[in-house]
Amino acid sequence: MSLRVHHVSISFREKGKIFQAVQDMSFDIEPGSTVGLVGESGSGKTLTALSILNLLPKEALVTGEIEWEGQNILAMSQPKLRAIRGKEIGLIFQNPLASLNPVYTIGNQLIETIRLHHRELSVKDARDKAIDLLQKVGISDPASRLSYYPHQFSLGMCQRVVIALTLSMQPTLLIADEPTASLDVTVQAQILDLLCAIQAEFNMSILLISHDLGVIAQTCDHVLVMYRGHIVESGPKTEIVLSPRHPYTQALFAAIPSIHLDRPVAVKAKIAEPISPFDQPTGCVFCTRCPYATDKCRTQSPTLEDRGASKVACFFPLG
């Protein structure tokens, strides 16, 4: 089952002004593949994720089409949406502790979710399944952990529980919105390994959203780079990592902190002048921060065009 995001724009209207959060975004996710979505905070990554589940706040104006198995999610009825949410498309959120209801034990939440989509299961069967799942995500002594409340787990363990919750419905597409952002590096690696292992076992496709290029490079097949609501570069991981063509992608790589103090820096984005989100600059979205920007960049906006194996939205792609 594949996902096709087709010319999706998301905007908000506030006091008569329009704030374009995501503009004309298109991408596909093939079954079994892992697609990474990178970009800085506020670039529209999370909105994209929410729009795929049609969970955007009511104020959001969405145009375009999001096709799941040939059906437009944006035009679906609520009962149909509920059947897809969780069961076919799962969501893992950034902060695992906040993703769990603090007043219920994790056993309660697991069993609720399992029985929501498998009504035929008895509470006892659902409990057995919950224990199975906890084992699968690497939680020791799962039977007794069922009676734990979320706050009794560490963040890493919590994220494992959230993953177990999502897995309980065996979605075919998993949207992981910064799944490792609040975890320390070793736990981060464990969680990423777990996601990869699960993907192989259940043959899921994953949309991995992150601001961390290291995470993306470690896991994804295909990478989308977002800047201020636009996809500026899109291509196979190897292309993007080894020969980034958009100045913004290069700047992102240059911004990775390194323990090699003398590492040469290829491109450095200028420190951004604060721009009001309501201002739609003419020309390329990145021109205000691009060290190579010319007059053409400031007046005309580039579109995504094939450059070798990847697509780049830049008049003067590098490399």
Partner 1 sequence: MKLPLSAWVSIGLLGLFFVGSLAIQWPLKMDAQSFDPNLVGGPLSPSFAHIFGTDDAGRDTLLRCLSGAKLSLSIGLVSVMMATSIGLAVGLVSGFSPRWIDAGVMRFVDFVMALPTFFLILSIQVLLKPSIWNVVVVIGATSWMGTARMVRASVLSLKERPFILVARARGLSSRRLLFKHILPHTLSPVLVSAMLGMGHAILTESVLSFLGLGVQPPCPSWGNMLEDSLSYMYQAPWMAIAPGMCIVCVVMATAVIGDAWQERIQQI
DSSP line for 114-153: HHHH-TTS-HHHHHHHHHHHHHHTT-SSHHHHTT--GGGS
Q: Please, are residues 34 and 219 in contact by the beta-carbon 8 Å criterion?
A: yes
Rounded Cα distance, 111 and 134, in Å: 12
Query: Quick check: 103 binds partner 1 (CB under 8 A)?
Result: yes
The one among 36, 39, 44, 90 contacting partner 1 by CB under 8 A: 90
Which H helix or E strand runs over 156?
helix 155-167
Rounded Cα distance, 220 and 243, in Å: 16
Query: Quick check: 180 binds partner 1 (CB under 8 A)?
Result: no
The one among 8, 47, 100, 192 contacting partner 1 by CB under 8 A: 100
Q: Tally the residues of the chain.
A: 319
Query: Quick check: 71 binds partner 1 (CB under 8 A)?
Result: no
- Taking the complex as a whole, the smallest distance from the CB of residue 6 to partner 1 amounts, in Å, to 22
Query: Quick check: 107 binds partner 1 (CB under 8 A)?
Result: no
- As given in the structure block, the two tokens for residue 190 are 């464990």
Site string for partner 1, 120-159 (x = CB under 8 A): ----------------------------------------
Beta carbon nearer to partner 1, 47 or 313: 47
DSSP 8-class letter at 85: B
- Taking the complex as a whole, the smallest distance from the CB of residue 46 to partner 1 amounts, in Å, to 10
Longest dimension (CA), the chain: 68
Query: Quick check: 101 binds partner 1 (CB under 8 A)?
Result: yes
Write out the residues near partner 1 by the rule CB under 8 A.
50, 53, 55, 58, 82-87, 90-91, 93-95, 98-103, 112-113, 116-117, 162, 165-166, 169
